Structure 1
């Protein structure tokens, strides 16, 4: 993947890296159960505070709220910024064609720990989108964790992570996230509430695929690049995560979708490049 050739301009990135962790060490995650919870949150969750019980306050320290200038030769920053800018350009074009205005999210890079309007986060939480402040939070060490913990990686796989989180912002812009939240509150069972979460996550996977379709020529994507993203989608399926934890597979407890579902919806978006084809809410749940 030639990420340096990605389209896009500007950038709305705040760099909080190198400022240390949260007071008191942030969120503590330990043991096998904690690891699996962290992995589930790590891979494309929205609100880590709700999952890990972090502080839900919105106060930031002065050092956290100020933006630092990244080093010109900081390749991790350049990679994230380039991918992020291109996702926003793609979605701005899609919204414009639909006669709508796209408002970009902000992207915050941090190290060890930081504070969001959705609560405290640390490096174990991984990338997430917070609708309360319309920000994506990312500790770039997460990419190393992808390689070591799940055996998945590569530039396009990393880009898929970012594009998925931007997909959650698109859902927020379209009012989809609010509709899902209302449906979950009125759900009669936990399984029903989880089913709405699965639809939301699979749609974000599909949106990530749409972005990949739009940039495949400029980024010079190869079959190996595409395979990397598919391998990642497979590795983070709820069924695979449950097996890794030593638990039995319980579909009613899924919140992100099975490995095959995640592969299917990412591939659907990538092949078509049509965001209208990502309506996971119009499909019978058993046919997702």
Structure 2
């Protein structure tokens, strides 16, 4: 469609906010990484020892105290703690060390065959993908945040991309699904970006069963289970074990939603960061981030960046909903999932509240055009 400085009617303009979602589960607690539910420990052995050491009267007193504490614990309701959403990892400062993964590919270069990134962890192999898409017309690319050329883009095409019965707890199966759906994301985003005048090229992937080290640091990061996108070499890094089962005290996605669509939607979020990189949004964002020392301003920009990637992820999930498939029950499950992930009290507000993650995932799903994912022109309340 013709490029317009103003977003299409019904969304995306200054002060605009997408329709509010149903009230999602509220964040619980401030501890990070999000803890797994703890098993109650029996105190009978300890009480026996205390009884022997302190005598009858002391033992009775201790039993009363412990009994009262346990009775108090029984009145509490166990709840689900939100988990983090994935993020892009800012490019570290350059050193004289040569990057062992792959040199950076600029969006202005001709897309060529790109092998997936080679992880450094033990025992994992990489897969190589090749994509052929229509070359873009030579037009001026707007790399700004609010009027970026990506907003010229049309809806993602409906694709045939079935997932099968993949188990997220099986590394080989989940890795194959991530790479397969990554190729489907290439087929969806490549033509749309090229037609908008943006040079497209595919991202690389480094998928570990456990831990690895990439161009932007360890994956998963210490105390985390989330994948990340590294703009230094256009590569998405992920640990299947951490995403499914958690890492340390950080709960895994598989402990919230066992259906593979949850993890794949998170990988679609990471691909959204790749789209932001190709369009210049990441560079513009990072430049502005570095220009200000105001922490609140930096966090506000980070939330808009992450929520836009979530909206792009929702666009792709909708594009494969028929063939993947994502029936109505699974769609509701995804919406509930995105009402749990996000920021919560006590920790940096850099990804957006659970309510707004739900809001922008649904926005991408329901509106399904890049202009409708323009978080940079949306109201501050919808990107809080």
**How far has the Cα of 1:35 moved from its partner?**
2.1
Contact kept? 1:156, 1:226, Cα under 8 Å: no
1:54-89 per-position Cα deviation (integer Å, ceiling 9, x unaligned): x9x76559983997267xx93222211222111111
What 5-or-longer segments of structure 2 have no aligned partner?
1-29, 36-80, 102-117, 128-169, 247-251
Q: TM-score, normalised by structure 1?
A: 0.72
**C-alpha displacement at 1:226, in angstroms?**
1.4
Report whether the alignment pairs 1:163 with 2:268: yes
Change in Cα spacing, 1:210 to 1:35, as seen in structure 2 (3 Å) is same
Contact 1:41/1:126 (8 A) holds in 2: no
State the shift of 1:49 in Å: 9.3
1:128 aligns with 2:233: no
- Work out whether residues 89 and 228 of structure 2, in 8 Å CA contact, stay in contact via their aligned partners in 1: yes
1:88-237 alignment runs, 5 A limit: 88-122=186-220, 124-141=224-241, 142-145=243-246, 146-147=252-253, 149=255, 151-237=256-342
- Equivalents in 2 of 1:166, 1:152: separation in Å? 20
Displacement after TM superposition at 1:115 (Å) = 1.6
2:376 pairs, out of 273, 277, 281, with 281
Structure 2 CA distance, aligned partners of 1:103 and 1:59? 19
Equivalent pair of 1:58/1:118 in contact (CA under 8 Å):
no
Aligned-residue RMSD, C-alpha: 3.3
Greater RCO, 1 or 2 (C-alpha within 8 Å, sep 6+): 2
- Structure 1 counterpart SS, 2:226: coil
Instruction: Name 2:362's counterpart in structure 1.
Output: 267
Alpha-carbon deviations, 1:97-144, whole Å to 9, x = none? 323331110011113321211122337342110111110001111123
Once the two structures are superposed, residues 172-221 of structure 1 have per-residue CA deviations (whole angstroms, 9 ceiling, x without a partner) of 00010111111111224101100000000000010001111211122231
Structure 1 stretches of 4+ with a deviation exceeding 4 A read 39-42, 57-63
Looking at structure 2, the residues matched to 63 and 139 of structure 1 have their Cα atoms a distance apart, in angstroms, of: 11
**Mapped partners of 1:111, 1:58: distance in 2:** 25
Larger radius of gyration: 2
Distance of 1:41 and 1:232 partners within structure 2: 10
1:148 CA drift (Å): 5.5
1:33–1:279: structure 2 CA closer, same or farther, 3 Å change rule?
Answer: same
Aligned pairs for 1:61-76 (under 5 A) are 64=120, 68=125, 74-76=172-174
| CA–CA separation in structure 1 for the residues paired with 2:119 and 2:287 | 36
> TM-score if structure 2 supplies the norm length?
0.55
Pair 1:108–1:69, CA change in 2 (3 A): closer
Residues 133/223 of structure 1: CA separation in 2 closer, same or farther (3 Å cut): same
Between the two proteins, the alignment pairs up a number of residues equal to: 239
From the superposition, tell whether residues 108 and 148 of structure 1 become closer, same or farther in structure 2 (CA, over 3 Å).
closer
2:178 maps to 80
